[in-house]
Amino acid sequence: MAKQDDFVEVLTPREIVSELDKYIIGQDAAKRSVAVALRNRWRRQQVPDDLRDEIAPKNIIMIGPTGVGKTEIARRLARLAKSPFLKVEATKFTEVGYVGRDVESMIRDLTELAISMAKDSAQEIVKEKAQELVEERMLDIMLPKRKEKLQVGEDGEKEKVLEVVRGDKVEINSTREKLRRMLRNGKLDGRYLELEVDNHNMPMVEVFSNAGIEEMEFNIKEVFGNIFPGKKKRRRVKVPEAMEILLQEESQKLVDMDRVVSEAIRMTEQNGIIFLDELDKVAGSESGYGPDVSREGVQRDILPIVEGSTVITKYGMVKTDHILFIAAGAFNVSKPSDLLPELQGRFPIRVELDSLSCGDFVRILTEPKNALITQYEALLETEGITLVFEESAVQEIASIASDVNERTENIGARRLHTVMEKLLDEVSFEAPDMDAEKVDIDRKYVVDKLKDIFEDENLSRYIL
């Protein structure tokens, strides 16, 4: 049976959309599609075993201009599902036989992310035990135990002597407990200790192989692990840093890496999400030569990965049958029908995202949990300055961003970052030296700061 903890918190499609609404404005159709795709994963876990493997994920193609929320929707979805998530650009890959990354590397990268997630989770479970061991090691360093050693006496006989003498056993235990209390209360945080840590530096060797550079790196480490034995180096660090270093060491000793790898592969195969951006850039290839010659080849290489195949990684075989692929592209030059027919069939859900209006920009500036205005207010609050944005200022910022998008390249909500950075450039620079504790941003302030740049179309092309 599949594990019931595949989804830490099982959300309904409506709840998933509600969570996405907290961070992304509009794009309801796209949110609904990804919500259903995520819920279908949970549904698949509930069906009988013989049918479970037959149910393929419903991959999605998001069609829309840049900066409208395609990547953010996929990223937030992965966070909701506690899933390994990887964003890659289709243009980074080349057809097998050309210089560049092969498409299987995306599965290896996703597996690495899953390993990291599974390892962090396993270390969290053993953290309490590891902290106890770290405390004992710290006390051993600060208060060495008495050790006995053999020494030849005056009469030629070997006799045991103490190497470190710190009074009787009662006194040692008393001192140790006193140090323990001081360590727990943070009274030793300013003290320096010398630690022996592993020296991870090793010779750099580059090997080019059809197996992929990632796999060869692993093999080289395996080979040189015996030739260059692990070395220790001494570091002088403060107590808190020493405890952190020792916590990592003890946690790794307590974690069963075989179980971590097994869990990571399961997470990759059952929960993995790959966001394949710029798919439109590899759609169609009218010429059989020149820089675009491998476009169709990349599609052919992507097809078996999306379709379901087995990829060799340094942790073992990883099946891609149930990894969810979310592709995206502007498709302003090409269209989804320009993709290979077989690849089109593997992305049954098509959803078009809307361009953002001036009203959307106003909402993006103010409504989401991570709204831009909220971010800038928090940043300048660290300098003791309170930013106050009037409604008229927000409207003017949105209007300028929208107009610049229409007059120049439409980069969606990313234009707001550019406008806001230019608007608050002076305040951000002068903040540490300002006497004022409050800065009011009204429509006049926005116009004064941006009017000249906005009206000079040539200048706005470069600055905004």
Count CB neighbours of 45 within 10 A: 17
- Residue 196 pLDDT exceeds 80: no
pLDDT digits (tens, 9 = 90+) for 419-456: 999 999 999 999 888 887 889 999 999 999 888 777 77
pLDDT confidence of residue 428: 92
Residue 346 backbone dihedrals phi, psi, to 5 degrees = -85, 0
pLDDT confidence of residue 94: 73
pLDDT confidence of residue 29: 93
pLDDT confidence of residue 210: 46
pLDDT band at 166 (very low <50, low <70, confident <90, very high): very low
- Residue 204 pLDDT exceeds 60: no
- Residue 149 pLDDT exceeds 60: no
pLDDT band at 62 (very low <50, low <70, confident <90, very high): very high
In single-letter form, the type of residue at position 53 comes to D
Question: Which has more pLDDT, 412 or 218?
Answer: 412
Query: Please, what is the end-to-end C-alpha distance for the chain in angstroms?
Result: 55
pTM: 0.79
For range 328-342, the mean pLDDT? 86
pLDDT band at 195 (very low <50, low <70, confident <90, very high): confident
CA atoms within 13 Å, Cβ hemisphere of 148 = 4
Q: Which CATH number fits domain 358-455: 1.10.8.60, 3.40.50.300, 1.10.530.10, 1.20.120.550?
A: 1.10.8.60
pLDDT confidence of residue 392: 93
pLDDT confidence of residue 249: 86
Six-digit token string for 266: 């399961």
Where do the structural domains in the chain lie, given as residue ranges?
4-117+260-352, 127-254, 358-455
Which residue from 301, 320, 268 is spatially nearest to 102, judged by alpha carbons? Answer: 301
pLDDT confidence of residue 445: 92
Note whether 183 and 137 are within 8 A (CB): no
The H or E element containing residue 307 is helix 295-307
pLDDT confidence of residue 452: 77
For range 20-31, the mean pLDDT? 92
CA atoms within 13 Å, Cβ hemisphere of 198 = 9
**Alpha-carbon distances, residue 17 vs 29, 38, 360 (angstroms):** 10, 11, 18
4-117+260-352 — its CATH code?
3.40.50.300
For range 112-117, the mean pLDDT? 93
Count CB neighbours of 17 within 10 A: 18
**Alpha-carbon distances, residue 218 vs 198, 225, 232, 314 (angstroms):** 19, 10, 22, 7
Rounded to the nearest 10°, the torsion over CA 298, 77, 266, 277 is 10
